[in-house]
Structure 1
Amino acid sequence: MARLLHISSSPRGGDSESLRIAEVFTSAYEETHPGDLVQHWDLWDGSLPDFAVGARAKMSVFGGHAPAGAEAEAWAAARRVFERFDSADRLLFSVPMWNAGIPYVLKQFIDVVSQPGWVFGVDPDTGYDHLLAGRRKRVAVVYTSAVWGPHLGPDFGSDFQSTYFTDWLRWTGLTDISDIRYHPTLTGDRDMARQAADAVARDVAKSF
């Protein structure tokens, strides 16, 4: 039995296009993978720890020391978040565009789980090791925006959303990535854009 984990970063509930498309994906996945487990992780639910002390613990680890006291507690809290993320065989992220980038809660998630020995190693001569590589994990990402669109010029913003997040995924070693996009723009046909995004979501889910 495989486990699909949907990690969502929109707080907008029923008004969220990224969550709506993710529901289309998970419904199609459940229909075509009846023995698999599908779970949802709302990053706004308070489960992400503050990482101020954790950042100090990270530097202790980099220095070859075991975190102690409050640092050890923060490191353990971060580890629990990483294990929840890492335990999934399939990952679905729903990512709305915020100010040309990603919601800050998703950046918090990235900063909590991206730790030495968990997500990456580093060698002074060869650079980073991508520790999630070669584990046959698959990733699907729902990218949505309201103003920016791939065919528009810079007056309508820039895409630091998918460029940043895809780069992070590949840096971890997760390279089997499928994108599902909804970018209707201010003057586009939203119904047509929804239908197109839903069709891609279903197609990806069926073979995921």
Structure 2
Amino acid sequence: MPVLLHLDASARRRSVSREVGDAFAAGWREANPDGRYVHRDLAAEPVPFIGEAWTEICDNLLADGITALDRLHEGARTPEQKEAWAIIEPLLAELVAADVVLIATPMYNFGIPASLKAWIDQVTFPKMSLKGRRFVVASARGGAYGPGTPREPFDHQERYLRDFFAGHFAIEDAVFVNAELVNSRVDPNLAHLRDAHEASHADALDAARALAKEI
């Protein structure tokens, strides 16, 4: 039975990243009627930031050479570390059980929201691998950051996530579906780009729906 883990990170209850993510999730559930769907809203129910006990768990794992996903709990030994593990365990269990991980996230200040970074920090341990799982990112950006645009060098959202997936999870084939120029909806100085945004938004929805049938 395939499993989809769907993470939302937007602080907005009605957002473009949520809409694009929902389009993928709906298509995936239609294509996998017997699959299991798990949704976690990182904005509505924020994950705590890591603390010193979390770093100690990592130190223990490194010292003992433990990288197997089913043995990571062995790094929690003291009462403080076990308390930290109680936060980690359900998050990590959802991630490890998933065949497809969908991350719906806006770009905030050229990067990802703190809510998503907190989740990433909690579930990432030294030399762990998630090979065999598929990662899909449904994103919304206020401006245009695609290849060849003036703001391409400022994209620390997709670039960061690609580097993170490859460097920590051994995932090289993450798929990104980006809706751009969202700020044209509210910024008068970008009003002339509203049509371009609408086209990008529609393309992202279509791409998300099509991708859901392929993964």
What is the TM-score with the length of structure 2 in the denominator?
Answer: 0.80
Query: Contact between 1:9 and 1:94, CA under 8 Å: does it hold in 2?
Result: yes
Which residue does 1:163 correspond to in 2? Answer: 159
Q: Give the fraction of aligned pairs with identical amino acids, expressed as a percent.
A: 26
Which segments of 5 or more consecutive residues in structure 1 lack a partner in the other structure?
A: 121-129
SS at structure 2 position matched to 1:38: strand
Cross-structure match for 1:175: 172
- 1:169–1:23: structure 2 CA closer, same or farther, 3 Å change rule? same
More helix by share: 2
CA contact (8 A) 2:101 2:135 kept: yes
| Structure 1 counterpart of 2:105 | 95
Shift of 1:19: 0.1
CA distance in structure 2 between the aligned counterparts of 1:145 and 1:58, rounded to whole angstroms: 34
AA at the equivalent of 2:87? A
The residue identity in structure 2 corresponding to 1:35 is D
1:205 paired to 2:205: no
Tell me the equivalent position of 1:126: none
Q: Distance in 2 between matches of 1:78 and 1:59?
A: 16
Alpha-carbon deviations, 1:64-116, whole Å to 9, x = none? 47531112221342233211211111111112100000001111111111113
TM-score (norm 1): 0.83
Please give the alpha-carbon distance, in whole angstroms, between the structure 2 residues aligned to 1:57 and 1:44: 26
- How far apart in 2 are the matches of 1:196 and 1:207? 17
Tell me the residue number matched to 2:92: 82
How large is the RMSD of aligned CA atoms in angstroms?
A: 2.1
Q: What are the within-5 Å matches in structure 2 for residues 1-208 of structure 1?
A: 1-14=1-14, 16-46=15-45, 48-52=47-51, 53-64=53-64, 67-116=77-126, 120=127, 131-133=129-131, 136-150=132-146, 151-154=148-151, 158-171=154-167, 172-184=169-181, 186=190, 187-189=193-195, 190-208=197-215
Assess if the C-alpha contact under 8 Å between 1:148 and 1:159 holds in 2.
no
8 Å CA contact 1:100–1:157 kept in 2: the answer is no
Q: Which has the higher strand share?
A: 1
Q: Distance in 2 between matches of 1:192 and 1:32?
A: 26
**Matched positions, count:** 192
Contiguous gaps of at least 5 residues in structure 2: 65-74, 183-189
